[in-house]
């Protein structure tokens, strides 16, 4: 099926691309080296409406269709995977509130999350628990009209600056989810530095020590924390990462085409050497194939196709696994220049490995996809 963007989507793509080229790409390597996202850039992202992309218009959001969300994530991913990760986790929190929250929770949180006045973060992973989310160790105990939370969360993207955490816990053996505000007694954040990739995403470990939250802060009901809320959020996370990975691949193509056009070896530009042409052709075809899988995913979500969920696993799997060779070849083409901290492709190479781990490892994708094939 041939897919061509409509005028409104082409215009939005051009706007996103321009924003990335002027506001993100010039600072991405610096933020990566500093392991910090500039506050003013987050505000610019918010001013563009990207933080309110998935929020209902009734609460100040933009309620973008899935194709527009995909375009946004691809373009931001092309510039900086850390900023794209902000859109992912913030979007996961806002989608959870928009879908499962009470009217009071929506009115309280969504307008400020939409404008970037508040930043959301997703609190599921723990020091001892990653893929096996049913084994989370954080516990909630009911005390009168409150819940007391104890446990630790780890690898929390933008946990250093988030204002609102979506925290998952066990209550009497049942999974539950809570909205926990920054500054709560018993909640502390501890910065995590020195990561391989997405180094500007300001990871944190959260400590919950007798942290009290009102019963009104529970989102959804008892027993819905994982099968409904976490699953819903993680589906969106895979959607975002799949499109963002296409963006990384496209960035590698852009960098490689520019470099091989201006760099000469043996008297001719690099792009006239057949082995370089082979690398470039493989990049182009794999990125285009991944983009088509992602566009199909967006279409299925828009049509409420029951196959959308498994399409998300497939799109994320292919889009992330293709990046290993693409980013490696992009560095190989540039040689020592590609290994320099001033080069974008070395950042893409490191970020690509992170894409294979977050929101389900490559191996988990292979298990899920193979099981679906036999049903």
Please, are residues 260 and 270 in contact by the beta-carbon 8 Å criterion? yes
State the catalytic residues.
Answer: 359
Q: Which residues, listed in sequence order, are joined to residue 190 by a DSSP beta bridge? A: 205
Distance CA 10, CA 260 (A): 28
What's the first-to-final CA gap in the chain, in angstroms? 25
Distance CA 174, CA 218 (A): 13
* DSSP 8-state code for residue 218: B
Please, are residues 74 and 244 in contact by the beta-carbon 8 Å criterion? yes
Beta strands in 119-173 (DSSP E): 120-123, 139-143, 146-156, 164-171
Distance CA 124, CA 230 (A): 8
Two structure tokens written together for 25: 């790409």
């Amino acid at each position: 099926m041939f897919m061509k963007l409509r005028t409104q989507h082409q215009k939005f793509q051009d706007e996103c691309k321009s924003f990335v080229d002027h506001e993100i790409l010039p600072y991405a390597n610096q933020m990566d080296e500093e392991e910090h996202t500039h506050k003013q850039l987050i505000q610019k992202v918010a001013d563009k409406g990207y933080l309110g992309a998935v929020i209902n218009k009734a609460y100040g959001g933009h309620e973008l269709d899935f194709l527009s969300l995909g375009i946004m994530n691809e373009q931001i991913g092309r510039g900086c995977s850390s900023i794209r990760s902000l859109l992912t986790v913030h979007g996961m929190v806002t989608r959870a509130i928009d879908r499962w929250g009470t009217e009071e929770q929506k009115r309280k949180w969504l307008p400020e999350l939409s404008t970037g006045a508040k930043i959301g973060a997703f609190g599921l992973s723990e020091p001892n628990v990653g893929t096996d989310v049913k084994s989370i160790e954080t516990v909630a105990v009911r005390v009168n009209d409150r819940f007391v939370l104890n446990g630790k969360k780890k690898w929390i993207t933008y946990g250093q600056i988030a204002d609102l955490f979506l925290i998952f816990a066990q209550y009497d053996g049942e999974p539950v989810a809570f909205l926990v505000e920054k500054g709560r007694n018993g909640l502390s954040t501890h910065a995590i530095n020195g990561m391989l990739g997405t180094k500007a995403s300001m990871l944190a470990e959260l400590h919950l020590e007798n942290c009290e939250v009102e019963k009104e802060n529970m989102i959804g009901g008892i027993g819905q924390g994982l099968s409904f809320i976490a699953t819903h959020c993680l589906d969106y996370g895979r959607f975002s990462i799949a499109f963002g990975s296409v963006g990384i691949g496209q960035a590698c193509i852009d960098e490689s085409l520019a470099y091989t056009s201006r760099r000469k070896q043996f008297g001719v530009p690099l792009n006239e050497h057949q082995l370089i042409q082979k690398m470039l052709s493989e990049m182009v075809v794999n990125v285009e194939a991944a983009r088509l899988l992602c566009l199909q995913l967006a279409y299925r979500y828009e049509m409420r196709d029951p196959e959308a969920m498994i399409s998300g696993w497939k799109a994320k799997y292919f889009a992330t696994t293709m990046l290993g060779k693409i980013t490696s070849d992009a560095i190989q083409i540039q040689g020592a220049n590609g290994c320099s901290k001033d080069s974008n492709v070395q950042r893409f190479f490191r970020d690509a490995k992170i894409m294979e781990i977050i929101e389900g490892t490559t191996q988990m994708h292979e298990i899920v996809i193979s099981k679906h094939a036999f049903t």
